[in-house]
Amino acid sequence: MIPLPATTLGLHQIAEAHKFGDLVDLARLRRMAANLYAAGGIPIGILDPDGTVLVGAGWQDICVKFHRVNPITCQRCRESESFIKANLDAKSPVGYKCLNGMWDIAVPIVVADVHMATLFVGQFFYDDEMPDVEFFRKQAAEFGFDEADYLDALKHTAVFSRKRVESMMCYYQDLVQTLAENGLARIQLMQARDSLEVEVEERTIDLQRARDELARRAESLERAGQAKSEFLSTMSHELRTPLNAVLSLSHVLGLQADGRLTPEELSYLGTIERNGRSMLTLINDMLDLAKIEAGKAELTIKEISVSGAVANSIEVVEPLSSDKGLTITTHVDPATPTVFTDPRRLHQILQNLLGNAVKFTQKGGVRVDIRPSESGGVMIEVSDTGIGIPPESLPHIFEEFHQVPSLHGATQTGTGLGLAIVEKSLHLLGGTISVRSEPGQGSVFSILLPLRPPEEPQTLSASPTSP
């Protein structure tokens, strides 16, 4: 089963699924904060919404060593943080003076409408609100702090003017805006990556579906082609057996008809025999084609002379060419090598081509040229001065049951299987065939025959239906 593709999340959903540390370079931020504190004495911290410290520089001793240690004073710190968190405004900083008497100022870092972290500046005193030393001395006594150390920490706590704090917060607001924009860009990049992954997944699924469909169609075509070949093979056998009986009986009747049949009856008998032999030729062609397509055609490879094979095939068609007053000439290059091939298949190929050349030529003649091929193997060209082939028929000339119209529009007689068998037989032998022709000028069929057939038998894709 093909899985459904994932969907691309929105920016808000992506932001909710990540932490602030996923969107920025925390190590660089920590270095920046440390350098800023070293240069200007400005304390800074960045905390995530759960209170985890992500960046911290210049934390005051009075806070770290005293207020955060005692449970009561620590609770006052947390109340400060809770107030700030509840009153955060994305447009302006929030300030709060805690119950320990010190100031914190915070700015939220918001990315895609999600509160990702908070930037804190503190703790510190304003210079117009100098700390009440007696208040802190009482706290030391109340909470058990060492008074000298506690007051020394108080002495070293940062003190800023309001103008300086205002300038600092302008800087930090710009920093927060930059961090938010960088975080948004990172989320947009994540969204684009997720979108691309979804698109790739969708394309992959579509491609897999197309492959599955092609595989199903190929399997269906293979089954249909196999069924067609088996049907043709079976039916050819079933038809050939009674047809041979009819031909045999008609021949016997012809031999014994002397004085017993009228000339008209003898003519009928001749018609039966001629049509029967035409039908037998068609059945034999169909059976041969079915064997080739079903992969059941057997080859018997021998070393032969191509010119000798051509001469044997010419002998078969010579009576027909003589009746029509046509000449068949052969031109052999002395450098033509012998080939290893199936003599019966080659004879069948040549007989088909020579028979067609004689059949479709009314005057002139047929020529066979045999020579070595530049690419290896032997080239055999069968040319004629016949009626030629119309341009629109050339792409279909080797299709099963295709017949070329004559110059007057009538279809020539024949099974339409001869050239299909020629091409498929040559494929089995590892050869190729091509044709060039002009109407009224004749045709040239060129065969390229390899010196040896391929080691593995060539396979053919059977068509379930003929064009």
Tell the residue number behind the tokens 């107030």, with chain if given.
83
Distances (CA, A) of 451 to 298, 304, 305, 347: 19, 10, 11, 16
Q: Report the C-alpha gap between 253 and 248 in whole angstroms.
A: 9
- For the chain, domains (ranges, CATH) are 11-202 (3.30.450), 218-293 (1.10.287.130), 302-449 (3.30.565.10)
Per-residue pLDDT tens for 63-107? 888 988 899 888 888 787 778 778 877 667 888 888 888 888 989
Per-residue pLDDT tens for 235-274? 666 776 777 777 777 777 777 766 677 778 778 777 887 7
What's the whole-model pTM score?
Answer: 0.48
pLDDT band of 409, cuts 50, 70, 90: very low
Closest CA to 465 of 214, 215, 233, 232: 232
pLDDT band of 334, cuts 50, 70, 90: very high
Query: In Å, how far from its chain's centre is CA 198?
Result: 16
Which comes out higher in pLDDT, residue 371 or 6? Answer: 371
The DSSP secondary-structure symbol of 127 reads: T
Q: Looking at residues 107-116, what average pLDDT do you find?
A: 90
Residue type for position 66? F
Residue 194 belongs to what H/E stretch? helix 162-255
Closest CA to 404 of 437, 434, 431, 432: 437
Backbone angles phi, psi at 365, to 5 degrees: 180, -170
Q: Report the C-alpha gap between 417 and 98 in whole angstroms.
A: 102
Environment class of residue 67 by beta-carbon count within 10 Å: exposed (0-12), middle (13-18) or buried (19+)? buried
β-strands 114-126, 44-47: how paired?
antiparallel
Q: 175-212 burial, b for 16+ CB within 10 Å, e for fewer?
A: bbeebbeebbebbeebbeeeeeeeeeeeeeeeeeeeee
